[in-house]
Structure 1
């Protein structure tokens, strides 16, 4: 049974009771969840990454993709997923879902006898205020930081969870190919028919939301390398004109140059507005898409040097390059480590990594939790994993004589709350 260690009661209590600063979420708007009505069922919990493990375990892609939709009824969903659930239930993704089912909805297990009960419990709680109930009351989240990645989403969302949510400007929208120029124009009133007009579009978002946002976010490793060269304005303008004025395709090098120049522009604006840069490093969600070279955190080193006043928040501990992240955060004053998502990717590797970070990196540079999910239910299980991992990592360090219990309590509060609160000025 999932439990926190109790050898050091003060530490256990601090870990259990400290409100969490959740550094990263993709949560859908509550109204979208409410609109699901009777279409909501147990399989929507699988949106919290379990689909990838199901496919990895042998489930057909189409069957997995139909889980969090209304294409199938819940009985047919269970029939198709049952044997694969038994294969993935022990991964971090599977255990996080099981924790939510057991501790939020009061159902001991997900199986052939209970999946309908899980659905009924989810529907019973699907009413106004469900996000506050799941996040604040159950998971103990003080604030979460939103990064909108919905296909029709915007750089900054106007409707969020009041009193719970702050946002990062989704500057990855400016690095997409093709660029969503029509959608950006509808939002800003600026027709980006030149490189200069495109930069004015970016500037509009910073001017409109830069004092309200708490960071900017870039998740580009899903489609390109983390290495951003400093490209001349002339080269970027030529690439933009060729692609978006003359409508001609770009060679890969020219496309990269356009994106490089765009991100450098965003970094200059981040420096101007004193906004930290949250950037995806390491592992990728999904299947058959993992390029281990383009996700390496060390590819960002030139940016750390060129923008010393910009604070970089490296996501997901760079997994599986967590030692590389530790070295970068130890060496560069403007580099910080974020454990968001990592607790459910690989719980034990993350627990060991936290001990490495504490023993190698200044303790103010470690952010201990970010749920990184779209369904609010998934935040609970992930939050429990974070508290579990922090408690066990620190307990072992006390046992080995590296820390005293009071030191461990201070570190727990910093990692779970204080560091991120100060960093993001919440």
Structure 2
């Protein structure tokens, strides 16, 4: 991981001098540990092609919905930022961003961008409306340097493991090529089948047809399951260790084979009512757990996000453009059918991610403190910021300790933010552990062992790396 430049070495650490000193000591133990990133969204093509990043706007603004969302709230048209594939003059869009840079004061995204500018790109000039063009040019000079291409940065960031997120029908040729390329770390695919499991997903019927055609399976429920199992096996052969599931509601349902067949036929023909579509989704989440028990893929569930909240924005710019928001979730009742069948399977790993903070202490930590299969997913989306990570630790540790966590997950498409996010998590965890030391709830030796485990051994155990 890159050393920070001109940054307070104790940034994000507690203000109290005694606690800060302990936190800094803990942080320094792991500051330069290799990055283990078992869930993220960096396209594998970036590393396969190793093409230079084009410009500052594309790199830091257009594709970062943390950034574009707040700019949109201030009155900027997303089209002027290049969102949704709109053509834009990069320097003009960068000026819009620089003019509104003060809006990001105190935000996690503002902190990460400063980390990227200073620690990764080595930009000494503070960003402002007056320095916009200068900073843009300085960034461009870095991007034109071969040392700032994706593969060079991958090695520079000391990434030991990086997971991508991939469609079940991807041939994974890019991963196969990377595995033979001599890249310093390991890049693994992740099986993400949402569009093949959710009858309300756009193009669901066509997706099922493509799946069955690709695998040569019959258009029956058993054929459909066999097709998914075959594609999971394809991913495992290419190094996958997990299957990821993004759901609005973490609900599961155990159906008899005949019922499942009837539901399958109704959803693929488009005749299923809303309740039947929801039942099919719930049954398929349970089936994904059954498959993970059988083939060993870690099952991760990212729940509780209402997608495409602004219809007008979705129609104009498409998905993943900044208007996905958290909602309340119920893991205890929703996952009970799944856990009744598989919760006591010791080789089954189920990692639960929430954006509803209330479920950490009420549901997820208590479940993880009983079920050997359940692990607590790290703070994700909206909650992966410094203060939220501290709240997360306070919420889950008293009932589940440290061993039942997943380790930090950066969950990012913004490649340059990977070291910034992992560094943020290491500082937040060091701060939490330092408080426990000062309060005589842990010895400093115990705290050191915990933080050493968090950054590498723990995510490797949970994700079977």
Q: Could you say which TM-score interval applies, normalised by the shorter chain?
A: 0.7 to 0.9
Deviation at 1:33, TM superposition (A): 8.8
Counterpart for residue 224 of structure 2: 198
Correspondences of 1:87-106 after superposition (within 5 Å):
87-106=103-122
Question: How many correspondences in the alignment?
Answer: 414
Counterpart for residue 110 of structure 1: 127
Secondary structure, counterpart of 1:217 in structure 2: strand
Counterpart for residue 248 of structure 1: 270
* Alpha-carbon distance in structure 1 between the residues aligned to 2:47 and 2:156: 21
* 1:220 corresponds to which of 229, 244, 247: 247
**Deviation per residue, 1:283-318 (Å, 9 max, x gap):** 56765543623x443332432232121321112575
Correspondences of 1:72-151 after superposition (within 5 Å):
72-108=88-124, 109-112=126-129, 113=131, 114-125=134-145, 130-138=149-157, 140-148=158-166
Correspondences of 1:34-45 after superposition (within 5 Å):
39-45=54-60
The answer to whether the Cα contact below 8 Å between 1:315 and 1:339 also exists between their aligned partners in 2 is yes
Deviation at 1:216, TM superposition (A): 1.4
Secondary structure, counterpart of 1:385 in structure 2: helix
| Alignment of 1:166 onto 2:182 | no
The answer to whether the Cα contact below 8 Å between 1:44 and 1:69 also exists between their aligned partners in 2 is no
The answer to whether the Cα contact below 8 Å between 1:330 and 1:361 also exists between their aligned partners in 2 is yes
Deviation at 1:67, TM superposition (A): 5.0
* Alpha-carbon distance in structure 2 between the residues aligned to 1:168 and 1:195: 24
TM-score of the superposition, structure 2-length normalised?
0.78
The answer to whether the Cα contact below 8 Å between 1:40 and 1:122 also exists between their aligned partners in 2 is no
Secondary structure, counterpart of 2:100 in structure 1: helix
Structure number with greater CO (CA < 8 Å, separation at least 6) is 1
Counterpart for residue 311 of structure 2: none
* Alpha-carbon distance in structure 1 between the residues aligned to 2:459 and 2:407: 8
Counterpart for residue 337 of structure 1: 376
Q: 1:380 to 1:23 in 2, by over 3 A?
A: same
The answer to whether the Cα contact below 8 Å between 2:36 and 2:162 also exists between their aligned partners in 1 is yes
TM-score of the superposition, structure 1-length normalised?
0.85
The answer to whether the Cα contact below 8 Å between 1:100 and 1:381 also exists between their aligned partners in 2 is yes
| Alignment of 1:281 onto 2:281 | no
* 1:387 corresponds to which of 426, 441, 459: 426
| Alignment of 1:260 onto 2:260 | no
User: Considering only aligned residues, what root-mean-square deviation do their CA atoms show, in Å?
Assistant: 3.1
**Deviation per residue, 1:358-398 (Å, 9 max, x gap):** 33314221233121112311212211211211221112221
Q: 1:229 to 1:87 in 2, by over 3 A?
A: same
* Alpha-carbon distance in structure 2 between the residues aligned to 1:61 and 1:233: 50
Q: 1:374 to 1:417 in 2, by over 3 A?
A: same
The answer to whether the Cα contact below 8 Å between 1:242 and 1:250 also exists between their aligned partners in 2 is yes
Counterpart for residue 300 of structure 1: 335
Q: 1:77 to 1:320 in 2, by over 3 A?
A: farther
The answer to whether the Cα contact below 8 Å between 2:99 and 2:128 also exists between their aligned partners in 1 is no
The answer to whether the Cα contact below 8 Å between 1:232 and 1:261 also exists between their aligned partners in 2 is no
Structure 2, unmatched stretches of 5+, are 1-6, 14-19, 180-184, 307-319
* Alpha-carbon distance in structure 1 between the residues aligned to 2:47 and 2:77: 25
**Deviation per residue, 1:2-41 (Å, 9 max, x gap):** 5435613642321213223212111112448958757433
Q: 1:33 to 1:115 in 2, by over 3 A?
A: farther
Q: 1:31 to 1:275 in 2, by over 3 A?
A: closer
**Deviation per residue, 1:178-236 (Å, 9 max, x gap):** 321344346x3425533232122112113333464212110122xxx211211233233
